[in-house]
Amino acid sequence: MQRMKKTAAGLLCLIMMLSAASCGSNQNEATGETTTKTGTQNTTEKETDDLDDIIPKETVTLEVYSQLANYSGEQIGWFADVLKEKFNVKLNIINNAEGTFATRMEAGNLGDIVVFGNDSDDYVQAAKAGLLFDWEDEDLLDEYGSYIKEHMGVALDKNRGITGKLYGFGFDVSESADQHAAYFYYPDVRFDLYEEIGSPKISTLEDYIPMFEAMQKACPTSDSGGKTYAVSMFPDWDGNMVMYVKATAALYGYDEFGFGLYNMDKQEYEDALKKDGMYLRCLKFYNQLYQKGLVDPDSMTQTFNEAAEAYKDGAAFFNLFHWMGGDLYNTDAHVSEGKAMYALTPDDAKNYVDGLNVFGGNRVWTIGSKTAEPELCMAIINWLCTPEGYMTMKYGPKGATWDLNDSGKAYFTELGKSAITDGSSTDMSAAGYSGFYTDGMCQINNTTWAPDAINPETGESYNYLMWQSYNESLVPSDILSKWRKWAGANNADEYLEKNGHISIKLGTSFSESTKDADLTTVWAQVADCIKTGSWNAVYANSDEEFNKIVDDMISKANEYGYEKCVEFQQKEAERRKALEDEAKKAN
């Protein structure tokens, strides 16, 4: 048990200090180094010695309960190899299947490392139940989280303000709030097919529908010979609403906000079931696609991984996320054939984009209070916040997939280039790691730094798309050159910003308020009602059936107490707007 080891280590350290004193020592006040008869030890070496002391002699398996994980089981591949080598640990990932949180709460043990999907209800409930480790107890943060303490102070203060104690920090932290992140939401579309059907004008969201019909006629089968669709969805990430429906509203500057959406330009809340509101408009959009045979019929039941395979196979033409669109489809093989997915957004879009946030987001890294290895957990999370640790989690092992050049800038190795373009086929054994790159990616599915935060070691963004080395190495393919000429831009971010497709979410300290027991019960019933009703509406065979399903969904939601949820969220919106107004004044 590491808490016992820590005490023993302290006694041993005292004995060694006394012994060293009796042998004589000389401290250099200018360098902080202490020279003894056995040599010189600087601060960096001392920190390594401290870390070495908590690394177990026999491999330890840590349970990581992540409400964001899409996977359950032992972490495998290169990330597992790195953690085994560096910390002598294995990770057992536990995802948030139905009832998992309640079961683990009842058992009184959430796990060793615990990652929450938000910093409100479940997180606060766990904190109040004493199931989270206070990072300021036993000098845990000071001794094993020094990088976090030095560089994420504002994010730590935000977390401390939620419950009065420090249990962790939220994801996507930045040390500066001066810029916005890269675009997360924008439509990736099969640009080769767009050209083939005559490059129709897309003025607004619904103009996609006839475009996809034409694309399907032009390309009726996928690489494997299956039928093609406009979109292939999955329900894994559904929360209060259907994820794909609410995420489509992000194309028009709306952020998910409880049961509804928050317009970032107007700073106004719109409830999800508002007639003619954005959520129902987006829901209608997907139903129109379904009625025309353009929605993968497996969308309501398949997993994230199954949907990803559909995009790799060219079975769908459109996705809201580039990492499921172009990142999966634009392999060397497809690109060499003149096929690719690139950004193509409606003329009236105002795409949601996050402002860099010194407070961090709402997905929280914590440590379970019942862990036998709090120091080891803290050291691992701390390492994931260092430039090397974050880059490793994001891109693979240093020296294998990426490294720093003589100018101190990051670059991809040949193996790394292969990993980011075709990770599922990139064999990591060439660099001494197990399995294929994609299989070995970190399954916790949370971040520490914002992808567009500045790496202090390189002076560049962590986002490889912004690296000098990456951009200098690019040789545009014919299809990319065609897209660039059409877009009048070199990349998606430049294209979106140049055309005014931008609505920035301001970084503030806003966190959701907790709900009382009655509202929590109502909330769960309404969420299930909206998700079930929304999926049923997507699969409606006619406009009449769609309208009836939506009306029934609204009626049932109101019976459960939907208005109480809306009242709660309206108050949240007022608080959010006030914090945004403060941030505007500060900037």
| Helix (H) / strand (E) containing 523 | helix 517-538
% of the chain exceeding 90 in pLDDT = 85
Q: What is the pLDDT of residue 305?
A: 93
49 has a pLDDT exceeding 80: no
Confidence of residue 3 (pLDDT cuts 50, 70, 90): low
CB 486 within 8 A of CB 92: no
User: What are the pLDDT digits (tens) for 116-133?
Assistant: 999 999 999 999 999 999
| Helix (H) / strand (E) containing 394 | helix 387-395
15 has a pLDDT exceeding 70: no
Query: Phi, psi (5° rounding) for residue 448?
Result: -105, -65
Confidence of residue 525 (pLDDT cuts 50, 70, 90): very high
CB 354 within 8 A of CB 182: no
Determine the average pLDDT of the residues in 190-214. Answer: 98
Q: What is the pLDDT of residue 509?
A: 87
Residue 441 identity? M
Q: What is the mean pLDDT of the chain?
A: 91
- Whether the model clears a pTM of 0.85, i.e. scores above it, the answer is no
Determine the average pLDDT of the residues in 530-538. Answer: 98
- Name beta bridge partners: 368: 132
Confidence of residue 179 (pLDDT cuts 50, 70, 90): confident
CB 56 within 8 A of CB 103: no
User: Token pair of 341, please?
Assistant: 């997915």
- For β-strands 341-343 and 352-354, DSSP reports them as unpaired
Contacts of 308 (CB under 8 A, 6+ apart): 324, 328
Contacts of 106 (CB under 8 A, 6+ apart): none
Determine the average pLDDT of the residues in 500-527. Answer: 93
Q: What is the pLDDT of residue 561?
A: 98
Confidence of residue 474 (pLDDT cuts 50, 70, 90): confident
Confidence of residue 52 (pLDDT cuts 50, 70, 90): confident
User: Token pair of 242, please?
Assistant: 């259907």
- DSSP label of 299: T
User: What are the pLDDT digits (tens) for 77-108?
Assistant: 999 999 999 999 999 999 999 999 999 999 99
CB 345 within 8 A of CB 496: yes
Higher per-residue pLDDT: 295 or 42: 295
Fold classification of 55-176+359-440 (topology level): D-Maltodextrin-Binding Protein; domain 2 (3.40.190)
189 has a pLDDT exceeding 50: yes
Q: What is the pLDDT of residue 410?
A: 98
Domain boundaries, the chain: 1-45, 55-176+359-440
237 has a pLDDT exceeding 60: yes
Q: Map residue 150 onto helix, strand or coil.
A: helix
Helices (H), 199-344: 208-218, 243-248, 278-291, 304-312, 326-329, 332-336
Distance CA 100, CA 271 (A): 29
User: Token pair of 288, please?
Assistant: 């129109």
Determine the average pLDDT of the residues in 229-253. Answer: 97
Confidence of residue 165 (pLDDT cuts 50, 70, 90): very high
Q: What is the pLDDT of residue 587?
A: 59
Helices (H), 24-120: 43-54, 77-87, 100-107
399 has a pLDDT exceeding 50: yes
CA gyration radius, the chain: 26
| Helix (H) / strand (E) containing 114 | strand 113-116
CB 313 within 8 A of CB 222: yes
Q: What is the pLDDT of residue 51?
A: 86
Q: What is the pLDDT of residue 585?
A: 79
